[in-house]
Amino acid sequence: MNLKSLIPIGRGRLSPWARTSDPFTALQREVERVFEDFSRGFPTFAAGATELTPKMDASETDKEFELTFELPGLEEKDVEINVADNVLMIRGEKKAEKEQKDKNYRVVERSYGSFARSVELPEGIDPDAIKATITKGVLKVSVPKPAPAVTKKVDIKSAA
């Protein structure tokens, strides 16, 4: 038995004896391995963190920014939107309950959790002009673009 047969080599990892000429690549590989090993012991932790963060699409037209958030199963009463210091904050609480009954078994699953997502808005946005609608778990937030800054030429006069 040799030493190489005792060292496990996982998905796509190079052997510990492989050398790279770039030390940053080796460091990056090692950091990724550490996080992979850490998350392997907590499958629900890794899945739950991404499950509660709403996915977002952002688009822009000539007149506004449109932000679309996926919030399946949520209604207007479950979501709160605030604007402060040019930051749009979306918060809510997700409560899911699923029950299955069959002849020989009964399964009840519950999951609860709050989520928050913030988006920095450009300077000059009017918070009163922001509109939001939610339909079938899709939240659409329309943010009108600020008016372009007006530049005015200032005449210079002599001090005499």
Q: What is the largest CA-CA distance in the chain?
A: 100
pLDDT at 39: 59
List, as own/partner pairs, every contact residues 5-9 make where C-beta atoms lie below 8 angstroms and the sequence separation is at least 24, other chains included. Answer: none
Domain boundaries, the chain: 18-51, 52-144
Residues linked to residue 101 through DSSP beta bridges, in sequence order: 106
Please provide the DSSP assignment of 76-143 as one string: GGGEEEEEETTEEEEEEEEEEEEEEE-SS-EEEEEEEEEEEEEEEPPTT--GGG-EEEEETTEEEEEE
What is the chain's pLDDT, residue by residue, as a tens digit (160 residues)?
Answer: 454 444 454 545 554 445 556 777 878 888 888 777 665 654 444 344 445 678 889 999 989 999 999 988 888 998 999 999 889 999 988 777 778 887 788 887 777 788 888 898 888 888 999 999 999 889 999 999 988 888 899 999 998 7
Strand 64-70 vs strand 138-144: parallel, antiparallel, or unpaired?
antiparallel
Q: Which CATH class is domain 52-144?
A: mainly beta
pLDDT at 130: 94
